A and B are shown apart, each in its own frame.
Chain A
Amino acid sequence: MAELEIEIKNKLGLHLRAAATLVKITTQFKCEIFIKKDEDEVNGKSIMGIMTLAAAQGTKLIFKATGADEKEALEKIREIVENKFGEGQ
């Protein structure tokens, strides 16, 4: 299992569109992905689950990936989060 702790940087946080963008990435990989915010943990491939996190700008999330392609998955996730989900702000 690999882990990635990262802060949400875009202004709108993990809103609907950002969640959709994230799911598009996570579902490309075979490994299982879970996202943890405080006590809450949701399936990283489920848009509904991600929405319930209601992670605003500045929230710290922990991504946990388990499977053959876990490293690549976390790398891609880091990229898209750092890139503010392509929203520019």
Chain B
Amino acid sequence: MSVSVRELLKDKSKELELELLAGEAGLERKLTVADVNRCGLALSGYFDYFVSERIQVLGNAEVRYLKNLGAKEKEAVLEKLFSRNIPMLVVCRGLPATREIIKAAKRHKVPVFKTRMSTTKFIGEIINYLEETMAPKARVHGVLVDVYGVGVLLMGKSGVGKSECALDLVKRGHRLVADDLVELIKASDKHLFGFPQPLLRFYLEVRGLGIVNIKELFGVGATRDRKRVELVVKMEEWDEKKSYERVGLIEQFHEILEVKLPALTIPVKPGRNIAIIVEVAAMQGRLKKMGYSSLDELEKNIQIKMDKEK
């Protein structure tokens, strides 16, 4: 995954207070790694291990260092830096970009920006943005609801009742994240975040009722912009021939983008209240995280009774 400097500018120029100073011709340059480089060492002439593919950042120290160089030296070192095919360069803290930087930027068609943000803050923000933009993404057919703080992804065939279940959950005080289409990004090996497709935000479709706006109906508190997915509930029509989990001994997982998520299969039958089952599953998941297992306790009690009756 990569993102062009132009896209970065479109998404984040306001937030990062980026102001283009020169090198507009290089806006199509690609950012391929989610990291930056403070190029102090390079400015001092040391180019071994120089990471040219990263965004190059100049902070207070680098700008002062450049200021103390003689005109010829300055030009030479900047020529060397810009000829390394860097994607872009940013001068932080609202510090001025010297004439030599602007000249080199134009010559090599490398976009140079200035920002008023402090160097540390800027680096933090831009890495966050890059990581998120370059993270693996997927789109699933399902409904994402925040139930007692647990992100529950309801999956199953069209018409099995995912949205109805979500509506029930919202009515019971939980929050809708996305209905029908859930966009997912993999933030790390264990973290998967879900959010709605922008056009469908707040909307929920229920057969027979049509498309309703959850925010307008239940208030903004009944919605959420994004949520980590922590539990997958697979809903399927009750199959007489299939045997369903009765005790909870077998752990099921569902993999999305190579993230292993705890999963449950819940058979749906008319009159069966799925929302309550999902609520309990979410609470059960939280208890488990806190170290409590109802099964371990039950097993222990059975053991104690057996020992007594020996």
A interface vs B, CB < 8 Å? 27, 41-43, 45-49, 51-52, 54
Give the chain A neighbours of B159 by CB distance below 8 A: 27
Give the chain B neighbours of A42 by CB distance below 8 A: 181
Interface size on B, residues (CB 8 A): 13
Give the chain B neighbours of A45 by CB distance below 8 A: 158
Are B158 and A48 closer than 8 Å at their CB atoms? no
- 7 pairs from A and B in contact (CB 8 Å cutoff): A48-B179, A48-B181, A49-B141, A51-B199, A51-B200, A52-B181, A54-B199
How far is B139's CA from A27's CA once the two chains are assembled, in angstroms? 21
Q: Does B113 contact A (CB under 8 A)?
A: no
When each residue 127-150 of chain B gets 1 if its CB lies under 8 Å from chain A and 0 otherwise, what string results? 000000000000101000000000
Q: Does B205 contact A (CB under 8 A)?
A: yes
Give the chain A neighbours of B200 by CB distance below 8 A: 48, 51-52
Q: Does B180 contact A (CB under 8 A)?
A: yes
When each residue 163-200 of chain B gets 1 if its CB lies under 8 Å from chain A and 0 otherwise, what string results? 00000000000000001110000000000000001011
Are B199 and A46 closer than 8 Å at their CB atoms? no
B interface vs A, CB < 8 Å? 139, 141, 158-159, 179-181, 197, 199-200, 203, 205, 211
Give the chain B neighbours of A43 by CB distance below 8 A: 141, 158
Give the chain A neighbours of B158 by CB distance below 8 A: 27, 43, 45-46
Give the chain A neighbours of B199 by CB distance below 8 A: 51-52, 54
Q: In the assembled complex, how far is the CB of residue B178 from the closest CB belonging to chain A, in whole angstroms?
A: 10
Q: In the assembled complex, how far is the CB of residue A65 from the closest CB belonging to chain B, in whole angstroms?
A: 14
In the complex, the chain A residue whose C-beta lies closest to that of B178 is A48
In the complex, the chain A residue whose C-beta lies closest to that of B199 is A52
